[in-house]
Amino acid sequence: MNATADVLKISPCQVGIVLLLAALVFSAGYSTSENTKGNEEQFDVFSYKVNQEVQPLMDKVMANPTEHNLRNANNKLIIEYESWGRRQDGKNKEIFMVYLAACETVIDTMQNGEQPDISEMNRLKNELI
């Protein structure tokens, strides 16, 4: 009984410290979320995907256009990048999807044994980056 009574005795100083710590925790979370929100608005997932994944893939397949490489690149464009693009939202989504179609056209042309016109693909890439 005596131990319970000791636990319930909290000094006003201790209450103040607890409230101050709680206020600091909540205010730190608020300011962090505000800073992160600004960075998210500036980051373009479509530009990043083009620079880091799609264009390097296209560069590799155009440098070594074997049937195997062309087929794998075309499958990756359709299965991975188009399905990813459909799930995303953003101002450059439409340009990204048209860019992927232009990449597929380049690959199809190469599979037919013809020299591709990459001007449309490059124009769209430049709009995205």
- Separation CA 29–CA 33 (nearest Å): 6
For helices 119-128 and 93-111, what crossing angle results, to 10°? 150
Residue 14: pLDDT band with limits 50, 70, 90: confident
Residue 43: pLDDT band with limits 50, 70, 90: confident
Q: What pLDDT was estimated at residue 39?
A: 54
pLDDT digits (tens, 9 = 90+) for 84-114: 999 999 999 999 999 999 999 999 999 999 9
Say which residue, 71 or 16, is predicted with more confidence.
71
User: How many residues make up the chain in this entry?
Assistant: 129
pTM for this model (two decimals):
0.69
3-class DSSP state of 10: coil
Give the closest residue to 90 by CA, choosing from 27, 46, 50.
46
Give the closest residue to 69 by CA, choosing from 60, 78, 81.
60
